[in-house]
Amino acid sequence: MAIFKFGRKDTPATGSADLAAFLQGFSIEVMPRTAEKVEDFRALLPGGTRVYIAHIDGTPIDEMVATAARLRTEGFEPMPHFPARIIADRAMLKDWVARYRGEADVKQALLLAGGLPKPKGDLHSSMQLLESGAFDGFERLHVAGHPEGNKDIDPDGSDRMVMEALRWKQAFAERTDAQMAIATQFCFDAGPVIHWANRLQAEGIALPVHIGVAGPAKLQTLIKFAIACGVGPSLKVLQKRAMDVSKLLVPYEPDAFLEALAAHKAKAPGFGIEAVHFFPLGGIKATADWTQRHGQRPQRAAA
């Protein structure tokens, strides 16, 4: 049941011109259960916005496909997640792809290993999904990135295996006609992100980066998600903020993080970050309102 109804507010844009430019073409993530609470995405997001649909283990494929179809009908570009480890077999993978394409005209997908410690079948990596042939004909395929490392992949704290996988994906993009990009985990400190993006380029990994950003949320909520998702050094940004009593009850907003990245992009146009991807941890409306305050106008007001 829809419980939100939003009208357009002509709020003056805030932030720098660099930030407004950096936010152009941003994407956002939803789940079927959160999408159900939004009456009309057109009142929240610019037309054509790419909307990732997170597939959490246990979510029925019917709900995933219905969410994708609804987003397509409202004028957005659905990009469902395909977590390899929750897919029982290749027959299930082909069925999911066929349903998304047939019922929602899905042309884009995020391929990732998924968070389960043990795969449900013989699929366990995004590389297997890419090689399966199931996504032949898709316009765009994204893969996961970890600017601060991933201890599930590299338990020793290095990024050796992560980098090896990204080099493989770079080679896949070069030998196919796949339009690919790296969508990252959310971060809070621009410094490590800039270093990581520059290192990718130095390593010959030219896949564009869509940097993950946590939308406005309570500090306690962000710290909980950051710890659960394995956010690394930039977690210190939140911990430092938590020490300031004056900021403890004020929702976190990503202005400083994104302003720093936008300023760097303006000075170095070849910088590998191509777009911003929002994780609306404090709610879709809160993130959408923030983007609107920074010059990103919704498609239209709700009727």
For residue 160, what pLDDT is reported?
Answer: 76
Torsion angle in degrees (nearest 10) through CA of 242, 248, 253, 257: -30
Partners of 38 in the β-ladder? 4
Render pLDDT for 192-225 as a digit per residue (tens, 0 to 9).
999 999 999 999 999 999 999 999 988 777 777 6
- Per the prediction, the chain carries an average pLDDT of 87
Q: What is the mean pLDDT of residues 121-129?
A: 96
Please say whether the beta carbons of 167 and 204 come within 8 A: yes
Please say whether the beta carbons of 289 and 215 come within 8 A: no
Domains of the chain as residue ranges with CATH: 17-293 (3.20.20.220)
Residues in the chain: 303
Alpha-carbon 100 to chain mean position: 19
- Quickly tell me which residue has 């977690």 as its tokens: 235
Sign (positive or negative) of CA dihedral 190, 208, 297, 138: negative
Sign (positive or negative) of CA dihedral 214, 219, 224, 228: positive
For residue 15, what pLDDT is reported?
Answer: 73
158 pLDDT tier (thresholds 50, 70, 90): low
- Quickly tell me which residue has 């019917």 as its tokens: 62
153 pLDDT tier (thresholds 50, 70, 90): low
Reported in sequence order, the residue ranges of 219-301 that DSSP labels E, i.e. its strands, are 273-279
In 3-state terms the chain splits into helix, strand, coil percentages (rounded to 5) of 40, 15, 40
Reported in sequence order, the residue ranges of the chain that DSSP labels E, i.e. its strands, are 27-30, 50-53, 77-83, 108-112, 140-145, 180-187, 209-214, 273-279
Q: What is the mean pLDDT of residues 241-246?
A: 54
Partners of 27 in the β-ladder? 50, 277
For residue 220, what pLDDT is reported?
Answer: 77
- pLDDT at residue 56 above 90? yes
